[in-house]
Amino acid sequence: MSIQITDISNVLEKVIAPAIQSQLFESNFLLKWLPKNSGVTKLENNSFYLTVIGQRNPSVVFMGVGSSTLPTTTKNITSQAQIPAAYGYGVLQFDDRTIEATKSSKGALQSIVEIYSDQLRRDIAKDMNRQMFRDGNGTVAILKTTLTTVTSPQTFTLYGSADAQPNTNMGTEYIVPGSQLIINSIVVTVASVLSSTTFSGTFTGTQTFTSGQKFAKYDGAAVAVEMNGLGIGVDDGSRTGPEGGQIFQTIDASTNPWWKGFVASTNTALP
């Protein structure tokens, strides 16, 4: 008989890498550069308050020699931004038999609890980094193709990088199998990610999904609360924030133009 290499593979000595090799992109560019624990103040009522100066003193004037009448105009030049706190969570669940089987080096290359705990911390950091670039509405993808009166499961097609749509080209970058999303009050559980712009999801009943509707993270009861990021903070006031209209951190940019960001929309080649 002819013995092939595949026939004896189970008895060959194997060289196993001593560390778990991650295939996930782990860098968090914005989160890395923001200062941490800088001027920390105890959070008394689940909100941070920041006093900002949004107007110059109206009484400043230069007068000629001999003038004696000074302007007496006074005005409150400060406003107060209120920043509500949100808390990030992640869940790990282990069967007792799994923990017992992986307690020693004979049971596993690395403690299964340590592996999953470390990855959970990295995943929370990745999600914080995503939020810092977004507008606080929790949107992780936008539906491109309408699905009319359909039942579960379904394949959803999203706007991706090849589409000329502003702020909608996220594709499946932030969609993870097993997670729950909400779109137009319909909860969709992600079954699998099929490509950079499609994923398969399950839901209850017969539903209609319309192009342009937004997928957001679901916290088990409603749209997840997320941070206001650069997407709404550095803006010319044209976007609608999670607080409604042009309100950002309780200050209305439509009546306080100094609260709007300066946006240069002219396309110019970099030198």
Mean pLDDT of 152-161: 93
Higher pLDDT, 136 or 186: 186
Give me the count of residues in the chain: 271
DSSP symbols for 89-101: -------HHHHHH
Q: Structure tokens of 194?
A: 């099929």
Residue 18 lies in a domain: no
The structure's pTM equals: 0.71
Quick one: pLDDT at residue 150?
95
Question: Which CATH number is 184's domain given?
Answer: 2.40.33
More confident residue, 68 or 12: 68
Task: Quickly tell me which residue has 């342009």 as its tokens.
Answer: 212
Within-domain flag for 37: no
Provide the terminal-to-terminal Cα distance of the chain, rounded to the nearest Å: 70
Q: Which amino acid appears at position 157 of this protein?
A: T
Mean of all residue pLDDT scores within the chain: 80
Q: Is position 238 within any domain?
A: yes
- Is residue 8 one of the residues assigned to a domain? no
**Residue 35, pLDDT score:** 62
CA–CA dist 149, 69 (Å, integer): 75
Domain-embedded: residue 26: no
> What is the pLDDT at residue 1?
45
Which residue in 177, 181, 175 sits closest to 191, CA to CA? 177
- Among 94, 65, 60, CA closest to 75: 60
pLDDT for 104: 63
Sheet holding 154-157, edge to edge: 139-142, 214-217, 180-183, 186-193, 198-202, 154-157
- Could you report the per-residue pLDDT of 100-132, keeping only the tens digit for each? 766 665 555 556 777 788 888 888 888 888 888
In a domain, 187, yes or no: yes
Separation of alpha carbons 222 and 204, rounded Å: 16
Q: Which of 139, 199, 131, 129 minimizes the C-alpha distance to 166?
A: 139
pLDDT in tens, 214-258: 999 998 888 888 888 887 777 776 777 777 677 888 888 888 888
Model confidence band, residue 166 (pLDDT cutoffs 50, 70, 90) = low
Lowest mean pLDDT among 24-28, 155-159, 198-202: 24-28
**pLDDT surpasses 90 at 259:** no
- pLDDT score, position 227: 81
Report whether 177 contacts 164 (CB < 8 A).
no
The pLDDT value given to residue 186: 95
What is the extent of the structural domain holding 147?
A: 139-217
> Phi and psi at residue 125, in whole multiples of 5°?
-65, -40
Rounded to a whole number of angstroms, the CA Rg of the chain reads 27
Tokens linked to 101: 């089987």
The residue ranking higher by pLDDT, 167 or 158, is 158
Distance CA 100, CA 110 (A): 13
**Which residues, 6 or more positions from 203, have their beta carbon under 8 angstroms from its beta carbon?**
152, 154, 186, 187, 188, 189
- pLDDT surpassing 80 at residue 187: yes
Say yes or no: 106 and 162 in one domain. Answer: no
Is 233 found in the same domain as 119? yes
Residues 21-60 have pLDDT tens digits of 676 777 777 777 776 655 556 667 778 788 888 888 888 8
- Whether 87 and 207 map to the same domain: the answer is no
Q: Residue 157: how many CB atoms within 10 A of its CB? A: 17
Q: How many domains does the chain have?
A: 2
What pLDDT is attached to residue 228?
80
Which pLDDT score is estimated for 176? 92
CA distances from residue 8 to 14, 15, 16 in whole angstroms, order as listed: 12, 16, 18
